[in-house]
Amino acid sequence: MLHKVSIAGMTMDPASNTPIIILRSEDDQAIPIWIGLLEATSIASALQNIKFDRPMTHDLFKNFTDVLNISVSKVEVCDLKDNTFYARIHFISKERNFDVDARPSDAIAIALRFSAPIYVDDKVIENSKMAESAEVLDNSEEGKKWAEYLDGLSPDDFGKYKI
């Protein structure tokens, strides 16, 4: 089953300086996904409706599909294996409907440009929960501090941060 999600916020992982996008399901489950800096910038610019003089990659992609009269019907974060998230972008054209594999960060950046809904599969939510409850492998003092910090986080801790 698919769950419709919205972007609850973006933040930075203080340990790795990696951007994190927080998706929130309609039943208030948070799904954090670590993403690249360029994709985070693209997502943040779309969320804040910032326009650039020259198109960024995701804007260029939207311009290209507009010329071909292809639209995006939805984006699905469809799997989570070995701490890697997988997504599919679903397209509609006059000739046919089709979908392609994508990184979730790219899929989300594109969904925002098409105002397409974003969905997360049940198994991603379940695997994400299992990852949250996984045993701490870093038993150093630093690792214990991070485990304690992460255990204390709630979805409300992830506000809408600007990148």
pTM: 0.79
Report helix, strand and coil shares of the chain as percent, to nearest 5: 35, 35, 30
Q: What is the 3-state secondary structure (H, E, C) of 147-159?
A: HHHHHCCCHHHCC
| pLDDT digits 0-9 by tens, 115-163 | 999 999 999 988 887 655 444 455 667 666 666 666 666 656 655 444 4
Mean pLDDT along residues 7-30 = 92
Note the pLDDT of residue 156.
60
Pairwise CA distance, residues 118 & 51, whole Å = 22
Dump pLDDT digits (tens) for 20-78: 999 999 988 999 999 999 999 999 999 999 989 999 999 999 999 999 999 999 999 99
Strand, helix or coil for residue 47: helix
Instruction: Give me the half-sphere count of Cα atoms (radius 13 Å) on the Cβ side of residue 24.
Output: 14
Are the CB atoms for 72 and 116 separated by under 8 Å?
A: yes
106, two tokens: 């790219």
Phi and psi for 54 in degrees, rounded to 5? -115, 145
- Per-residue pLDDT for 92 more than 70? yes
Q: In terms of pLDDT, which residue wins out, 4 or 148?
A: 4
Domain range summary for the chain, segments of one domain joined by +: 2-157
> 2-157 has which fold?
Bifunctional nuclease domain (3.10.690)
Are the C-beta atoms of residues 75 and 88 closer than 8 Å to each other? yes
What's the CA gap between 120 and 29, in Å, rounded? 11
Q: Which two tokens stand for residue 72?
A: 């995006």
The answer to whether 138 and 150 are in contact (CB under 8 A) is: no
pLDDT for residue 147: 65
Do residues 121 and 79 make contact, with C-beta atoms less than 8 angstroms apart?
A: yes
